[in-house]
Amino acid sequence: MNVIETMMQHRSIRKYSDKPVEASLLNAILEAGVRASTTGNMQVYSIVVTTSKELKSTLAPAHFNQPMVTQAPVLLTFCADFNRFNKWCRQRNAEPGYDNFLSFITAAIDALLVAQNVCLAAESKGLGICYLGTTTYNAQKIIEILKLPMGVVPVTTITLGYPAEVPELTDRLPLEAVVHYETYKDYSPNDINQLYAEKEQMEVYQQFVKDNNKQTLAQVFTDVRYKKTDNEHFSAALLNVLKNQGFM
């Protein structure tokens, strides 16, 4: 499948067959992944490949026990990683200056570009993936379980395996909702109404609002799925992780 076709067919896969991912295939996917652009060709990221049932079970609570964490044959945890680079510098009579927030962001960008390459490479080979946003929520637990040293912070995780489901493609806002020409054009109340109209009229979301006993779809996000109190709790935790891992 070509690149754009692969992207247009993307859906998150949450149910996997028992078929393992062949080592040679995983290797080819990772080799393609690391061709992604990287700041100054420093490659300040690491990928932790977890296939052990026991380790996946230990990781599951950090990912709020989403069933695909244990069900998928492979978990890939993508980490911002200055540990390897710092060690290299120190062995080469060079004093690294990467114990700061900018360096974390640089390394996180590196890790995320590789992650998306890996996902597309996997999908082009018939595998399915799902990103786990929980990685940044519970980074400290993941650090302990995966034994990540100073200078390493997990930024995202994907589940990987052969799909046992073909879910519907998910909707997207019209392209004009997210693209601005020349400079940013802020949204009028009428723009917002128009850009979200199609989404709000979808049967699946209207049911979602009812199921959650809310008046609007937006309230399902603010009051149920991504609540201020949770966001504040996990913000403090993540900032603490950055400090502990040597990035603040």
Pick out residues in 135-164 that bind its own copies (CB under 8 A). Answer: 136-137, 145-149, 152, 155-156
The C-alpha atoms of residue 209 and residue 217 are separated, in whole angstroms, by 6
**Signed CA dihedral, 129, 130, 134, 136: sign only:** positive
User: Which structure tokens are listed for 50?
Assistant: 């977890």
Q: How far is the CB of 225 from its own copies (least distance, A)?
A: 6
Site for its own copies in 32-71 (CB under 8 A): 32-37, 39-43, 45-52, 55
Q: How far is the CB of 20 from its own copies (least distance, A)?
A: 14
17 binds its own copies (CB under 8 A): no
120 binds its own copies (CB under 8 A): yes
Q: How far is the CB of 188 from its own copies (least distance, A)?
A: 9
| Binding test (CB under 8 A) with its own copies, winner from 60, 70, 217, 244 | 217
130 φ/ψ angles, rounded to the nearest 5 degrees: -145, 130
The C-alpha atoms of residue 128 and residue 15 are separated, in whole angstroms, by 9
Site for its own copies in 172-211 (CB under 8 A): 172-173, 175, 177-184, 186-187, 189, 192-193, 195-196
Site for its own copies in 80-99 (CB under 8 A): 81, 83-85, 87-89, 91-98
Q: How far is the CB of 176 from its own copies (least distance, A)?
A: 10
Q: Which run of H or of E encompasses 145?
A: helix 139-146
106: number of Cβ within 10 Å: 19
The C-alpha atoms of residue 238 and residue 248 are separated, in whole angstroms, by 11
| Binding test (CB under 8 A) with its own copies, winner from 124, 194, 212, 244 | 124
Report DSSP letters for 82-102, one per residue: -HHHHHHHHHTT------SHH
Q: How far is the CB of 129 from its own copies (least distance, A)?
A: 8
Q: CB–CB of 107/82 below 8 Å?
A: yes
